[in-house]
């Protein structure tokens, strides 16, 4: 088949949607399908077309109506030009279908292109309606309307978790959607690059430094444990607007020497941190899925996952890890302490967690999408 994947973002950006698109594209290509990646051109100095990892990436400027008068007057012309570029790409590649990953401007234009070119549309929701840093779906009537139209127009709708699929009911999806989880490379990363932190046991969190990721809650839980565990450290890898506030709070708590914020981590650094952490913690206030949880399970780490969102669909409490409400920082601290203090529990959960990861290998995930493609095309 000929498949155009339309993620909301792609390399050089780093994130769950980018990783999902890359892995899916590689699996499809290696299975004999023709694949191109069509994404939003951001920042604007990125090349319009380039080959990455043997895959053609086309980038488009996909404007949405702004609120300022002068740009608003130009929007009909800019939007028309964007659709013309997409039309040209469709005539050149001749895809059998369009597959949107994470509905934003990419989804609005894919919906229009699908209608114009009479192409089947597959929409995969990745938690964009609940996880956007600026709560864009609460503020933008255009995106809410665009998503409603896209879901109605789509030949198939998937979501990364049942939690995300249930939320789609707010936008008119009543039935017909299905859960296709995100995946992980079960063989893991061969290269490990140590972090420059003092020796000793440490808790690990990884993600973007925004309020919804709940790293402030993890810090408060760590503070509850720190007095009786003077050798325990906290490492949170990533970057974002909340990082400075988190560092300041650690200093107020007198824990700045034991809380390490090394910034954005390479894949090799994440792999090392996962392999060496005492406990991995996902403290999100809301989490659509949680690929980092799969990475921790793959590494054999004991995991404490947030009960708020889709991570609990990966980790069954007491079976593959522990699940806690991060808003109850005392409960979060107790779950972490339970794992730190019980070696037999850690071992049992580690074995079960590694076995659990096999269900999320990219090969069966890709097979699920292939079944959908055949059905709609």
Which domains occur in the chain, in start order? 2-183+361-376 (3.40.50.2000), 202-359 (3.40.50.2000)
Q: Once rounded to an integer, what is the mean pLDDT over residues 110-125?
A: 97
Predicted confidence band of residue 140 (pLDDT cuts 50, 70, 90): confident
* Per-residue pLDDT tens digits for 315-327: 999 999 999 999 9
Q: Where are the alpha helices (DSSP H) in 203-282?
A: 215-226, 243-252, 267-276
Hey, what's the torsion of the CAs at 71, 134, 207, 202, to 10 degrees?
140
Structure confidence at residue 72 (pLDDT): 59
| Secondary element (H or E) of residue 144 | helix 141-153
Residue 289 has pLDDT above 80, yes or no: yes
Decide if pLDDT at 89 tops 90.
yes
Residue 223, burial from CB neighbour count under 10 angstroms (0-12, 13-18, 19+):
buried
> In the chain, what percentage of residues exceed pLDDT 90?
86
Residue 188 has pLDDT above 70, yes or no: no
Give residue 70's pLDDT: 60
How many Å separate Cα 2 from the centre of its chain? 25
DSSP state letter for 287: B
Structure pTM? 0.92
Cβ neighbors of 17 (< 8 A, separation 6 or more) are: 7, 8, 9, 101, 102, 126
**pLDDT(261) > 60:** yes
Task: Count CB neighbours of 26 within 10 A.
Answer: 16
pLDDT averaged over every residue in the chain = 94
- Are 4 and 38 in contact by the 8 Å Cβ rule? The answer is yes
Reported confidence tier of residue 73, pLDDT bands at 50, 70, 90: low
345-371 in b/e form (b: 16+ CB < 10 A) is ebeebbebbbebbeebbbeebbeebbe
Q: What's residue 15's pLDDT?
A: 83
Q: Mean pLDDT, to the nearest integer, of 177-193?
A: 87
Indicate whether 69 pLDDT > 60. no
pLDDT band at 50 (very low <50, low <70, confident <90, very high): very high
Name the pairing type of β-strands 49-52 and 55-60.
antiparallel
pLDDT over 90 (residue 77): no
Tell me, what's the pLDDT at 78? 81
Average pLDDT over residues 244-255: 97
């Amino acid at each position: 088949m000929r498949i155009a994947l339309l993620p909301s973002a792609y390399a050089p950006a780093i994130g769950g949607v980018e990783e999902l698109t890359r892995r899916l594209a590689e699996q499809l290509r290696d299975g004999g399908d023709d694949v191109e990646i069509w994404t939003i051109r951001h920042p604007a100095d990125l090349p319009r077309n380039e080959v990455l990892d043997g895959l053609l990436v086309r980038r488009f400027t996909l404007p949405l109506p702004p609120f300022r008068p002068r740009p608003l007057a130009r929007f009909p012309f800019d939007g028309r030009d964007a659709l013309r570029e997409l039309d040209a790409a469709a005539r050149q590649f001749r895809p059998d279908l369009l597959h949107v990953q994470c509905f934003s401007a990419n989804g609005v234009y894919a919906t229009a292109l699908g209608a114009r070119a009479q192409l089947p549309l597959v929409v995969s929701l990745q938690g964009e309606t609940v996880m956007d840093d600026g709560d864009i779906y609460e503020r933008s009537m255009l995106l809410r309307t665009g998503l409603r139209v896209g879901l109605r127009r789509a030949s198939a709708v998937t979501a990364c978790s049942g939690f995300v699929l249930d939320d789609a009911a707010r936008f008119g999806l009543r039935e017909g959607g299905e859960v296709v989880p995100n995946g992980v490379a079960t063989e893991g990363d061969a290269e490990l690059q140590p972090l420059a932190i003092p020796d000793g046991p440490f808790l690990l969190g990884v993600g973007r430094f925004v309020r919804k990721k709940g790293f402030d809650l993890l810090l408060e839980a760590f503070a509850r444990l720190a007095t009786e565990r003077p050798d325990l450290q906290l490492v949170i890898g990533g970057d974002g607007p909340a990082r400075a506030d988190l560092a300041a709070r650690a200093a107020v708590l007198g824990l700045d020497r034991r809380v390490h914020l090394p910034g954005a981590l390479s894949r090799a650094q994440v792999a090392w941190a996962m392999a060496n952490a005492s406990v991995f913690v996902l403290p999100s206030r809301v989490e659509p899925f949680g690929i980092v949880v799969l990475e921790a399970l793959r590494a054999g780490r004991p995991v404490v996952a947030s009960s708020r969102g889709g991570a609990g669909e990966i980790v069954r409490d007491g079976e593959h890890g522990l699940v806690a409400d991060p808003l109850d920082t005392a409960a979060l601290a107790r779950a972490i302490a339970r794992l730190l203090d019980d070696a037999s529990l850690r071992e049992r959960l580690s074995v079960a967690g590694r076995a659990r990861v096999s269900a999320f290998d990219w090969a069966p995930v890709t097979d699920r999408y292939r079944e959908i493609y055949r059905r709609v095309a």
